[in-house]
Chains A and B, each alone.
Chain A
Amino acid sequence: MASELRVNTLKDSAGNNSIAMTYVANGVSKVWVSWNGDDTSVIRDSLNCDSITDNGTGDHRVNYAVNFANVGYSPQMNCQSGDASNPASAPMYDQGNTLTTSCRTYVTQSTSNGAGDLFDSEHMSVTCTGDLA
């Protein structure tokens, strides 16, 4: 039978390492996903990610299964470089593209002339913390 425990604070049995339930519920990641930017059909592993939309080279949207309550949540992202001598940059696309339902990522890789070309990284990662709807 399912059971429910309602508490405000968790501590270890010695009474140390106290954490309020608000940090447990609010502090855990609500979304994390690892996918192949070369092939958006390959989601390697995920939590609360419904799908990845491929908007073109280096341009992806992470779509959530359960939406956020507002757009004030915090997305973080990272990508894997294509090779050791050509670093990539992986920011969020812009604030207007951080929605309750999804966020948009944008990856460029530097070239020998210092320019940045859009780039599909083999290993893309996004995590999001905040309040779900």
Chain B
Amino acid sequence: MASVLKVDEMQGVTTADQITVTVGSASMTLHNGVAKFHCSYESGGSTGGAGALQSGDLNVTSVADNGNGNFSPQFTNNFSSATYTVVGNFEIGQDSGAMRNAMTRSRATSNTKFLNYDQNGGLTESVMNHNMLAGFGDLA
């Protein structure tokens, strides 16, 4: 029989953040595997301007536009240390043409810097419509 549990908050009995879920034959602590932030934001500025957050983000209060192709999503709740894991991707915004690339440049507990490059290593944002990032680790 299907069951539904309605709650606003779950805590472990012994330790608040220790809730175990079974995945396959393994067990893991739920909060460790959950993304602590994710966001999608404008790079090229076609909708809402460069750095404009798209709806549906998690734990991101704004995106700082540091200049051409240089953005820093700002977290609402900070990470406990700058050792967290970040993965990111981007929309290239064209069906053909020069290669583009994107990657992190630095990370702090309160934000992470993500750069967009053109094929010559120059910063660019003209054809990249969106950047999409997610982060994993422990919040402060």
Contact = CB atoms under 8 A, between A and B. Distances in A.
B113 to A, nearest CB: 9
Residue among B13, B33, B106 having the largest count of chain A Cβ atoms under 10 Å: B33
Given A25-B21, A132-B25, A8 B30 contact: no
Contacts of A76: 87, 89
Interface in B99-134: 101, 103-107, 115, 117, 119-123, 134
B107 to A, nearest CB: 7
B130 to A, nearest CB: 16
Contacts of B121: 85-87, 110, 112
Interface residues of B, number: 46
B102 to A, nearest CB: 8
Given A11-B4, A76-B87, A29 B23 contact: no
B109 to A, nearest CB: 12
B137 interface: yes
A44 B83 contact: yes
A43 B112 CA distance: 19
A80 B4 CA distance: 43
A24 B21 contact: yes
A79 B104 CA distance: 6
A125 B101 contact: no
Size bracket, chain A contacts:
35 or more
A84 B32 contact: no
Contact of B3 (A8, A12, A77, A80): A8
Nearest to B34: A28
Contacts of B64: none
A120 B25 CA distance: 35
Given A29-B136, A76-B89, A87-B101, 14 more contacts: A2-B13, A9-B2, A10-B7, A11-B7, A24-B30, A28-B28, A47-B28, A69-B24, A84-B123, A86-B121, A87-B115, A88-B103, A126-B87, A131-B24
22 contacts: A6-B3, A8-B3, A21-B21, A28-B30, A28-B33, A30-B28, A33-B85, A34-B86, A45-B81, A47-B28, A66-B28, A77-B87, A78-B103, A78-B104, A80-B105, A80-B106, A81-B104, A81-B117, A84-B123, A85-B122, A127-B85, A132-B26
Interface of A: 1-3, 5-15, 18, 21, 24-26, 28-30, 32-34, 44-48, 66, 69, 76-81, 84-90, 110, 112, 114, 123, 125-127, 131-133
